[in-house]
Copies of this chain bind each other. A is one copy, B any other.
């Protein structure tokens, strides 16, 4: 027993287990001072050093190779958060549930929460006081119709303020965001060089894929470094008016990143949370003008035009109140965009468009020009309706490709870019006819099973798109993998369903119009 009547201390140990955004503490069942099992039932402990503490879920260990009875182990993320050396003495106590869980329970009971409640919740989430099940409780209770417009505004504000904010000292800082769900939709890597070549500031930070086969950051990483320090990022933007970087190094709206790690695997995605998530990130990134892309289609995130309009109104309502100039464009989300799905294949599509290659996928080119045109019109000097032509001119003149090369060099070119996965097979048409539907979910899943985005060369290369005529036995798409196990995972899915439907020309559904 310690002399000063303080609870006894255990020696800190780093346990090399990555518990993916959940702090886990490991205590031996025969721990010298604490009753490990007593703690476990309560689910969470607080580990403190000199008054600073972190929360963790407790796992009880029966193997001294993992932790000894006089040690307290922490998973890698938790160890880093505590920020102490191994063998440092730590105290352990039963953790109170985070105070803001009271607000979550009020929300579960159907009550309206205040701005302060949302500040408290995001603060506790950013400090890693929430377990994943507590986050799930918050997300479900505030999902769907759980939040009214004012609450979504409160949540957006709280999430915006949950981390750092960038200030570019410019009156016009543009950004674009697609709500996602369409594989191959790599327009950002075309829009940024076009817009920057025009002279506008577009410091684009993107996420990596979480449940999709590629994010903009994953794809850009095929060509150059994306993991930029905040200083480097500012340098690149100052010199080139733009960047195409991973957003993870800056701590922008960190509450959002943490919530997404629960939202995505649960497959829940309410309008309110989506709007708060997107706008908080953009506001924290210092954007003044924002274009939102909402693809609509039978296998897109938004399936009906009326849902898209509802979502647009919500974006506009929150955007106006948060003081950002925001426009929404509703686009065709009926099939993947471009030909490639997966980082290397998508990068190839982007380069073909930038280099004015006649083989470049026309849908990716057209969509990028339309979106870039709308962003160019944020410039007071661009007359309404002239953006598209300016964008096309910048692309065709090679100025966009030059700007992209500047960005690649500035960020740090990859000398040996990854190549397409060596293991491959083809999925072929089982009958003659016309491609009438391509399922976004299935194609994304095939690419994912094949190893994308972790294996950059893995993915799907589409040779046919909706409206194309095919003969029986003709190749619809090629699947690429780098690992045998992944090859098999993808194959066992495509053996069951290809994601393509073949019928007659009149079954091809009319494209959703952009407006």
Residues on A lying within 8 angstroms of B by beta carbon are 1-2, 5-8, 15-20, 26, 29, 33-35, 37-38, 40-44, 58-63, 65-66, 75-76, 93-94, 97, 101, 105, 108-110, 131-137, 139-141, 143-145, 210-211, 262, 264-268, 449, 451, 454-455, 483-486, 488-489
Contacts and interface: CB of A to CB of B under 8 A. Distances in A.
Contacts of A489: 7, 93-94
Given A20-B40, A40-B20, A136-B134, A485 B33 contact: yes
7 contacts: A8-B484, A16-B61, A17-B63, A94-B489, A105-B268, A109-B144, A136-B137
A143 B18 contact: no
A259 to B, nearest CB: 11
A6 to B, nearest CB: 7
A285 to B, nearest CB: 23
A6 B489 CA distance: 9
Contacts of A34: 483, 485
Contact of A454 (B33, B38, B105, B211): B38
B94 A41 contact: no
Contact of A267 (B101, B109, B141, B455): B101
A211 B267 contact: no
A463 B340 CA distance: 76
Give 4 closest A-B pairs by Cβ, nearest first.
Answer: A16-B63, A43-B265, A136-B136, A133-B136
Contacts of A132: 131-133, 136
A17 B61 contact: yes
A106 to B, nearest CB: 11
Contacts of A58: 20
A484 B7 contact: yes
Given A7-B489, A141-B140, A265 B484 contact: no
Contacts of A139: 137
A146 to B, nearest CB: 9
Contact of A268 (B17, B20, B62, B108): B108
B484 A1 contact: yes
Contact of A265 (B8, B35, B42): B42
Nearest to A29: B18
A488 B136 contact: no
Contact of A266 (B137, B454, B484): B137
A16 B29 CA distance: 10
Given A7-B488, A265-B42, A59 B17 contact: yes
Nearest to A266: B137
A211 B43 CA distance: 10
A485 B7 contact: yes
A17 B60 contact: yes
A58 B210 CA distance: 15
A33 B66 contact: no
A110 B265 contact: no
In this complex, which of A61, A66, A141, A143 has the most chain B Cβ atoms within 10 angstroms of its Cβ?
A: A141
Contacts of A488: 5-7
B451 A41 contact: no
Contact of A485 (B8, B18, B62): B8
A255 B476 CA distance: 45
Contact of A41 (B26, B101, B210): B210
Nearest to A58: B20
A444 to B, nearest CB: 12
A66 B17 contact: yes
Contacts of A60: 17-18, 20
Given A93-B489, A133-B136, A266-B134, A26 B17 contact: yes
A97 B267 contact: yes
B484 A33 contact: yes
Contacts of A211: 41-42
Contacts of A29: 18
A143 B210 contact: no
A38 to B, nearest CB: 4
Contacts of A483: 33-35
A43 B210 CA distance: 10
Contact of A145 (B43, B110, B137): B110
A112 to B, nearest CB: 15
A472 B1 CA distance: 32
A136 B144 contact: no
